[in-house]
Amino acid sequence: MTLDELRAYFEGELVIGEREIGLFDRYLDLLEEWNERMNLTAVRDRGEMVEKHLLDSLLAMKALKGKRFSSAIDIGTGPGFPGMVLAILMEDVRWTLLDATRKKCEFLSAVKGALRLGNVEVMNARAETLPKERWDLATARAFSSLPMLLELGAPLLSVGGHLLAMKGPRGEEELHSSLRAMKELRIVHVSTCRESLPGGDGERLNLLFRKVSKTPRKYPREFSLIKAKPI
């Protein structure tokens, strides 16, 4: 898929103007360039990058429709999905792109600089070490199991904040196995946006949650515990 086809795909739903197309183009140039030196994505073909990374990230916009945010964090953003893509579209939202791997953050900083994105902050840290209640949106794609994401994400959100978990076709089952975690973390499921990915790439379930009250202080636990004993 080309960038023009991407624009046509979202016609009537998202405003993707010349500015955004130009920024996406430059972003993919950099991704291709850096990908030759370090492994940022297994996707090598440009058209496939548009579909698997840009389009998929933009589908998150549909799940967030009608909601206003002033600050957002993308947890385990890797090369910037969905965070960098959403930051390009949501110019008035302050985005924190978080990743534990330094090399990925170097790439993200290079993109931020080249694209002059004033609303992006790159953070090289682990989610479980961040300050609490600081963001009103958290997103994550291909990050972890749902209970683990909820435990790491909920404390970061201010009360009333939203968390968007980008899941695959088994998202519904994951939701069912996270009921206890949701209750314990004071987070409720708000909506599910079901999308079929083009090119027979299966289904994307975008699960949206809202934090209804303060996260109990014992969360997040140490990472080894979160992993060994999910809520």
Q: Kindly state whether residue 100 participates in binding ligand SAH, applying the rule CB under 6 A.
A: yes
148: tokens are 């683990």
Query: What b/e sequence results for 54-88 when a residue is b if at least 16 CB atoms lie within 10 Å of its CB, and e otherwise?
Result: bbbbbbbbebbeeeebebbbbbbbbbbbbbbbbbb
Q: Kindly state whether residue 95 participates in binding ligand SAH, applying the rule CB under 6 A.
A: no
User: Which of 141, 162, 204, 211: binder of ligand SAH (CB under 6 A)?
Assistant: 141
Q: Kindly state whether residue 34 participates in binding ligand SAH, applying the rule CB under 6 A.
A: no
Which one of 65-73, 138-146, 168-176, 184-192 is the stretch in contact with ligand SAH (CB under 6 A)?
A: 138-146
Q: Which of 134, 26, 124, 16 is nearest to 77 (CA)?
A: 124
Report helix, strand or coil for 140: strand
Q: Residue 12 or 222: which CB sits closer to ligand SAH?
A: 222
Count of CB atoms situated within 10 Å of the CB of 15: 10
Q: Kindly state whether residue 126 participates in binding ligand SAH, applying the rule CB under 6 A.
A: yes
CB of 187 to ligand SAH, least distance (A): 18
**Contact positions toward ligand SAH, by CB under 6 A?**
76-78, 81, 98-101, 104, 126-128, 141-143
